[in-house]
Structure 1
Amino acid sequence: MFTDTSPYFSVKHDFTAYLSPWPKDQALPTEHELRAMLPTGLLLINEVKTLESDCLLQLRHLDDDAKSVVDYLKLQSRKIDLVLQYVLESEQREGEQYQGMYFGGSGIRVINDSQLVENDQYKITLHIRDELVALLCFVKVTASQPLHTDDNQVSDQYISSLEFTQILETDVEQLVKASLSVQQKQLKLRKQAKTKA
């Protein structure tokens, strides 16, 4: 179980988060209790991601002749990812929906119409569709302030920083890999835009 507050890289990317207030007088769940809270869809996706990660590590040691096999396996993996995404999206969601703006291994930032109270704890289900990341964890509000628009005007929305207080280590690894993947895609798009200009 991850409870360290060391900072990780954070990337700007849209995602969805569902927040449910956690009672102040109730202790955060243990690792075992957190695992028991996971719905079937999240259990499935976590298991598939773990198996896929282990398999890809082994495939990296194969020579160039195996490239077509690797490409085929990636295609199969993508098909499974799409089916799992559908399963996740059809599951009942608990909590209030927030629009995510930044994510990383330490926490997230979300946008909402109302200000969150600092130090309040929330149970959160996080969905990063493009990276097929879906997880359940706990966060604490570290800041919540009015959101500024691109022309530096104050909007009627708030941006809130949420720090992970209880999250499985495998989920932190997923978030770190996803943030690096998103960053690589963003850099590639910027490079392509520069070459066209």
Structure 2
Amino acid sequence: MSSNLKEEFSAYFQVEEANQVNLFAVEESEVPQTKQALELSIPPLFRLANEVNELDVNALRPLRNLGDVASELAEYLKAQSRKIDLIMSHILATEQPDDSNQYCDSYGGGGLKVTCSSPFAVGQNLRTKIFLNHEASAIYCYTQVIHVEYLGENQYQHTLAFVQIRDDDQELMVRASLHAQTRQLKKKQNK
């Protein structure tokens, strides 16, 4: 395990919010060594979900130039898009039931923290799927355990750093963590 992974993990802030994650231990030889190899390893459903999200963003952009007339149309299209995203998220979340299904404690652009009842070893590589509820998005990547902390009562918190993740997906993790922080601040202000 490289101290470089710890530095990269620490370079991004973490936001405490639970999202479903699927973890599957893999050998180091199974981790894609290049971005192209990662892209080829991503299951078709995950690629489809990413393409749908990109299409949504690109389709709504021209409506902004139409001014107030298009705002209601844009809201309607966003609602329709959200429905599709939610369906895709559900389908993705149920794919490959052999993976361990957990909820993360926190996440950010450098990785995530997950509490499990049995520990993974520091240095263990994991095929990781992250399902961002509020973003209705799913991320397929590889992480490595860089720290394990025993919390008591057979609970171990694992710090997982990204070792292979698409640049767009890492950007999505950063954006999702910022949105989560905004939601948490608004919730705090309303109390």
TM-score, normalised by the number of residues in structure 1: 0.83
Distance of aligned partners of 1:77 and 1:9 in 2 relative to their CA distance in 1, 3 Å threshold: same
Secondary structure in 1 matching 2:154? strand
Secondary structure in 1 matching 2:122? coil
Secondary structure in 2 matching 1:130? coil
Do residues 180 (structure 1) and 190 (structure 2) align? no
Matches for 1:97-136 after TM superposition, within 5 Å:
97-136=101-140
Count of equivalent residues:
185
Partner in structure 2 of residue 45 of structure 1: 49
Matches for 1:17-96 after TM superposition, within 5 Å:
17-25=21-29, 28-96=32-100
Distance of aligned partners of 1:182 and 1:59 in 2 relative to their CA distance in 1, 3 Å threshold: farther
1:27 Cα deviation (Å)? 5.6
Contiguous gaps of at least 5 residues in structure 2: none
Q: Deviations over 1:136-176 (max 9, x none)?
A: 111111110112xxxxxx44301110100111001111111
* Bigger mean CA offset, 25-34 vs 39-48: 25-34
Secondary structure in 1 matching 2:91? helix
Question: Aligned equivalents of 1:71 and 1:59: distance in 2?
Answer: 10
Secondary structure in 2 matching 1:79? helix
Please list every run of at least 4 consecutive aligned residues from structure 1 whose deviation after the TM superposition is greater than 4 angstroms: none
Say whether the 8 Å CA contact 2:16–2:106 is kept in structure 1.
yes
Q: Which has the higher helix share?
A: 2
Question: Aligned equivalents of 1:170 and 1:99: distance in 2?
Answer: 22
Partner in structure 2 of residue 151 of structure 1: none
Secondary structure in 2 matching 1:50? helix
Q: Residue type of the partner of 1:53? A: V
1:13 Cα deviation (Å)? 0.8
Residue identity over aligned pairs, in percent, reads 31
Q: Residue type of the partner of 1:110? A: V
Alignment root-mean-square deviation, CA = 2.2
Q: Deviations over 1:80-126 (max 9, x none)?
A: 11221232234233422232110111100000012221122111112
